[in-house]
Structure 1
Amino acid sequence: MEVFVARQPIFNIKKDVVAYELLYRNSRVNSFSGIDGDTATSALITNSLLVLGLDSLTQNKKAFINFTLTHLREETPMLFSKESLVVEILEDVTVDNQLVEICVELKKNGFVIAIDDFTADDINRYIPLYPYIDIIKVDFMKCSPEQQVEIVRELKLFKLLFLAEKVEMEDEFEWAARCGYSLFQGYFFSKPVIVDGKAITPSKMAQFQLLNELSKTEPDVDVLSAITLRDLSLSYKILRLVNSAAFRRTSEIRSIKQALVYLGLRELQKWLSFVIVQDMGADQPDELVWLVLVRAKFGEMMTRVIGCAERESEVFLMGLFSCIDVFFNRPIDEVIAKLPLASDVKDALLGKENFLYWILRTILAYEKGEWDLFYEISGKLKLDKEKATDMYIEAVGWANQIKQDTAKN
């Protein structure tokens, strides 16, 4: 049985990640005779999430998880610790005495409860539940601006937190914050705000020169060392990175030349690129850097199971640069033109359909929990879908390890 699990960040008003919603589904629930959706999803939660451990997906932050009425009746949330979970009540669950009793019991046990996909039409429907609810997740795509304001105004007396979900643009985030929303979910943080785009500074140009040198068939090791030594911060970061636990080294690497010998040209190019992207993202939400790192690793592993392992480094770079327009707040075609990437990688990043484009689209569909789309386009790659979740979980765990190690002083 194919089970897919992804995560979507939930931010506070400072754009710090405070939780993740876990997006999950059995790929073809209805195709298994005798197995209904509740049973399949319960199996996923108990077997997959509990076996994998929430920490590997949420970095010790709370997990928002949808529970059907059957899950709630069976007390499935009680399998998790109250510190790790936010119980989401789905919009199609009938509000009756049984649901009220379930919420009362959850609150007695210290759980945080949220109502999912809330709209203005639901204000009166959930009146019996408000004393036990902590968070209202308002579907911004289904509510007009007037309704988004109305929900907060009508329910503020209940001392609820309001979460704006499906927030896709920066101006939507700013509007929601002004209206009284304190939590935000969506991919607004991964979209560029093109106003006064960042200039590509001399230090960034030096980093691009480094990438260009690395992209040569026979790069000059002395040139590489000279460029990195001119930027002590870059040298420090790349050495700290290659000495991290993620590389499972037994002896310390102390120079860029040594790193080149240990990693090889392709790997050094990849990791110098990561350090450059991390620098570029210094004034962006931290989650953005880790989003592209997961994309990069997920794509790299994907190449090995779809028969193009020889392109793994280029696919890694494609994932790494997939939000480069956000880092610079400039049109992506303008920034991509300056990067030393293969032409088909550039085309894929610009949305031109080729083989690498479909790899990127598969990564994005999985990341967003767009399961039907993922199932459709991954078929173009002949991807063994049963391996997708394992690769994604590994990519997330690996990125978490990099984050942990590079955060150390």
Structure 2
Amino acid sequence: MNQFWLMLESRQAIRVDPFLIKGLKKRGAHFGLSINHGDLPDLSDELLSSISFIRAPSEHYLRRNLNLQVDGSWRCIASEVDSEKLYTQLREQGINSIQGRYLPKPETTDIKQFPSNKLIALEILNLLGDVNVSLEDLENLIVQDLQLYYKLLRFINSAYYNFNRKISNIKEALIYLGLNSLRSISLVIALSESTTRSPDLFYLALTRARMCELLAKSHGWPNESIFFNAGLISLLDVLLDIPMDTILPELPLSAAIKDAVLKFEGRTGAALQCAIYYEHVDWQKIEDSQFDKDLAHSAYLEASR
């Protein structure tokens, strides 16, 4: 029997026929409840016993009026989380499933130079723009930070890539990933080590980068690594907590990457913007773009697997 999910709005859920719930459950249905306004509505016992998760705006959980009503077996999802502070408050209350734009927002300051604890990451970043860089240059830099070295190998051997054999050193990783991708992944891991931001940001950066690469590949556009790198670079301001227009002028990156990140120009910029639209669940803007919505959906699913 095929299983499927149904999300019910709270106003709709009040009127759902219990016999319909029973029939759908027999056909493999699982139910979620979405609350946009007000408290948890009065629901039938049949529906209450069928709900697996509940989604509500963050303010409901912060006021604690919802926490007292929900069934302990339900998974609670907080939506409309738009800041790191709000994210932290919810995590402290035990809410681990969080939706919103809290990750891609930099907590920027007036800092005009890079902190010293991110020097390894910035040296790797400089290598991104050096067309003459060698594998030995990158490897020598990475082994200066053993934690980075082991994290990189652990990630490359994770389910994200699912290689059919274990990668045991940087040279082997190069064969499978290519120098550009290896440099970019090393950069993001190095930055994630030195930031206090959520570790989810690391996976968001990789998902965005991979989606940009897949969009380019689906259109037959050359230099897919530029699209991948642009996706990663687009979150540098969040990882460093420094404004993007302060970071990019100092870095030896190609004009295509800089224009894509700052202005969404060119094919690279279009792919990057599409990936961001998808993160924001902005279907209308995706439809208005040059990318097919189904193609964007497939690219995102493959990028985030």
How far 1:371 moved relative to its partner? 0.9
How far 1:394 moved relative to its partner? 1.5
Q: What's the CA shift string for 1:356-386, capped at 9, x where partnerless?
A: 2221221111221111111112x3xxx3433
How far 1:391 moved relative to its partner? 1.9
Match of 2:219 among 306, 319, 330: 306
**Equivalent-residue separation in structure 1 for 2:197 and 2:113 (angstroms):** 16
Amino acid in structure 1 at the alignment position of 2:198:
P
Q: Which runs of 5+ in 1 are unaligned?
A: 1-45, 55-63, 115-134, 141-147, 398-409
Match of 2:208 among 278, 282, 295: 295
**Equivalent-residue separation in structure 2 for 1:332 and 1:261 (angstroms):** 32
**Equivalent-residue separation in structure 2 for 1:159 and 1:182 (angstroms):** 13
**Equivalent-residue separation in structure 2 for 1:368 and 1:188 (angstroms):** 11
1:36-47 equivalences under 5 Å are: none
Structure 1 residue 108 corresponds to structure 2 residue 20: no
The answer to whether the Cα contact below 8 Å between 2:264 and 2:272 also exists between their aligned partners in 1 is: no
Q: Which runs of 5+ in 2 are unaligned?
A: 71-75
Cα 1:375–1:204 shift into 2, 3 Å: same
Identify the residue that residue 255 of structure 1 maps to in structure 2: 169
Structure 1 residue 159 corresponds to structure 2 residue 100: no
Amino acid in structure 1 at the alignment position of 2:47:
L
Match of 1:266 among 166, 169, 180: 180
1:204-243 equivalences under 5 Å are: 204-243=118-157
SS at match of 1:307: coil
Paired residue total:
288
**Equivalent-residue separation in structure 2 for 1:311 and 1:224 (angstroms):** 21
Identify the residue that residue 386 of structure 1 maps to in structure 2: 294
Structure 1 residue 368 corresponds to structure 2 residue 280: yes
The answer to whether the Cα contact below 8 Å between 1:305 and 1:384 also exists between their aligned partners in 2 is: no
Higher helix share: 1
How far 1:284 moved relative to its partner? 0.9
1:74-113 equivalences under 5 Å are: 74-75=20-21, 78=25, 79-81=28-30, 86-88=32-34, 100=42, 103-109=44-50, 111=51
Match of 2:266 among 339, 343, 354: 354
Q: What's the CA shift string for 1:300-350, capped at 9, x where partnerless?
A: 111111231x23212112222222212222211112234443212112212
**Equivalent-residue separation in structure 1 for 2:105 and 2:24 (angstroms):** 34
**Equivalent-residue separation in structure 2 for 1:292 and 1:200 (angstroms):** 20
Q: Percent identity?
A: 26
Amino acid in structure 1 at the alignment position of 2:114:
I
Q: TM-score, normalised by structure 2?
A: 0.75
SS at match of 1:188: coil
**Equivalent-residue separation in structure 2 for 1:351 and 1:214 (angstroms):** 20
The answer to whether the Cα contact below 8 Å between 2:264 and 2:270 also exists between their aligned partners in 1 is: no
Cα 1:357–1:72 shift into 2, 3 Å: farther
Which structure has more RCO (C-alpha within 8 Å, separation ≥ 6)?
1
**Equivalent-residue separation in structure 2 for 1:193 and 1:217 (angstroms):** 32
The answer to whether the Cα contact below 8 Å between 1:198 and 1:329 also exists between their aligned partners in 2 is: no
The answer to whether the Cα contact below 8 Å between 2:81 and 2:99 also exists between their aligned partners in 1 is: yes
Structure 1 residue 328 corresponds to structure 2 residue 221: no
